[in-house]
Amino acid sequence: MAASRIVIENCAIATVDAGDTEYASGYIVVADNKIESVGAGKAPENLENVVRRIDGTGHLATPGLVNTHHHFYQWITRGLATDHNLFNWLVALYPTWARIDEKMVYSAAQGSLAMMARGGVTTAMDHHYVFPKGSGDLSGAVIRAAREMGVRFTLARGSMDRSEKDGGLPPDFAVETLEGALAATEATVDEHHDASFDAMTQVAVAPCSPFSVSTELMKQGAELARRKGVRLHTHGSETVEEEQFCKELFGMGPTDYFESTGWLGEDVWMAHCVHMNDSDIAAFARTKTGVAHCPSSNARLAAGIARVPDMLAAGVPVGLGVDGTASNESGELHTELRNALLINRLGAHREAALNARQALRLGTYGGAQVLGRAAQIGSLEAGKLADLVLWKLDTLAHASIADPVTALVFGAAAPVSLSLVNGKPVVEDSRLLHVDEDAIARSTREEAQRLAQIAGQA
């Protein structure tokens, strides 16, 4: 059967390929779920089976944004503990989070996904690690919400088995057993992970953090992931308190601890990595361990400024993350392009820290690297999957900024005229096509209120 084609013309294009190829006015041809061609000027003549032509005048086309760290369930606990550091914030919120159920998680996932997809995210990721007893199929609920939204998705099946009685932060009733966590994680991989080129759902093994997980769960989790051929994810080096915790409990800093448990490698990515010294960065570069940089969340929790320019210079793969919306209430990834650039310029490298194109690369190709999908997504190149975004840049907010990439990164959040995932429209004219935004807003408000009531009664 002949491929169905979508042709986009007359737009600026930032391909984010290896040479950072850009076109002031160019075209993209999508054939079924893949990019067939990208170039300058008009699309080739005599293309067969063109089902849609799109005039991209006034727009910039980029790869779809790739989110590398999130906690969807937190959508229904936004705006709480707003003046806390990480450990105090966790202690304040864990008792509430430990009372989530399947209906709450599904609604929260819808809210988190909707906000990201509407803002240009085509590949989403959720690190879910809170599984209260009797709460239902939480992993299934998140995956169902992503499937309905139409986005590509990685579920990092998290776990916690180090509670307060063991010197950890979560309350005792909020954690799983070692055996239970490993069995449930393996079952999730077996049921949901798709290793194919155009997979819409993948699963990673993701014990939560050194201060909520036993060493045995870290070691056996890494062994499980490698036996199953899936990626590994956790939090790392987020705060000075975490570094002190690791030294007191394990006699070493976070990076050395991760290496001792099998948690450095090209199949691993860590969230945050704010407090990294030169040897830590060198270890990540040597092992090709990836980093999910979450600038807004790091600022919200006063964690510090990650050394992203130094990581990139050393060859560490770095992508961007929203992080949970209890520590980044906007829930958007496209605003992280700007925040990553601005916050890193407050660090040691000042104005040379990041530029607009480096920020865009973090949010696209860098994220694809971190999720292990750089061969399929993250740049606009022939043969890659058709995950792309048309940003509208001819309105008041951006029209006087001559360079479109600068307009996208430095300017206000740009409207999304079109978002394709796997060659299929997910957003048009800033509206989601497959779900009802207003219904999701009502549902998330109702579930937030229900959770608050349950937590208040406990």
* Bridge partners of residue 354, in order along the sequence: none
Q: How confident is the model at residue 1 (pLDDT cuts 50, 70, 90)?
A: confident
By the 10 Å C-beta count (0-12 exposed, 13-18 middle, 19+ buried), 324 is classed as buried
3-state secondary structure of 100: coil
3-state secondary structure of 282: helix
Q: Which CATH class is domain 65-370?
A: alpha beta
Q: Is the pLDDT of residue 227 over 70?
A: yes
CA distance linking residue 351 with residue 217, whole number of Å: 42
CA terminus-to-terminus distance, the chain: 59
Give the mean pLDDT of 294-316: 97
* CA distances in angstroms from 354 to 94, 111, 299, 351, 358, listed in the order given: 35, 31, 17, 7, 6
Task: From 234, 313, 310, select the one nearest 277 (Cα to Cα).
Answer: 310
User: Which residues, in sequence order, are CB contacts of 313 under 8 Å at separation 6+?
Assistant: none
Strands (E), 166-226: 201-207
Q: How confident is the model at residue 243 (pLDDT cuts 50, 70, 90)?
A: confident
Task: From 44, 40, 34, 32, select the one nearest 15 (Cα to Cα).
Answer: 40
Q: Is the pLDDT of residue 397 over 60?
A: yes
pLDDT in tens, 68-94: 999 999 999 999 999 999 889 988 998
Give the mean pLDDT of 332-341: 97
* Bridge partners of residue 66, in order along the sequence: 123
Q: What residue ranges of the chain are covered by domains with CATH 3.20.20.140?
A: 65-370
Q: What are phi and psi of 322, to 5 degrees?
A: -70, -40
Which of the following CATH numbers is that of domain 5-63+385-432: 2.30.40.10, 3.40.390.10, 2.40.50.140, 3.40.470.10? 2.30.40.10
Which residue did the predictor score with more confidence, 234 or 249?
Answer: 234
pLDDT value at position 458? 57
Q: Is the pLDDT of residue 410 over 80?
A: yes
CA distance linking residue 343 with residue 341, whole number of Å: 6
pLDDT in tens, 163-180: 888 877 777 877 899 999
Residue type, 284: F
3-state secondary structure of 236: strand
Q: CB–CB of 170/95 below 8 Å?
A: no
Give ∠ CA 115-116-121 in degrees, rounded to 5. 155
Cα radius of gyration (the chain): 21
pLDDT value at position 172? 80
Residue type, 26: G
pLDDT value at position 37? 98
User: Which residues, in sequence order, are CB contacts of 5 under 8 Å at separation 6+?
Assistant: 29, 30, 31, 36, 47, 48, 49, 50, 51
Give the mean pLDDT of 129-149: 96
* Bridge partners of residue 207, in order along the sequence: 159
Q: What residue ranges of the chain are covered by domains with CATH 2.30.40.10?
A: 5-63+385-432
The overall pTM is greater than 0.85 = yes
Average pLDDT, the chain: 96
* CA distances in angstroms from 16 to 57, 369, 405, listed in the order given: 20, 13, 11
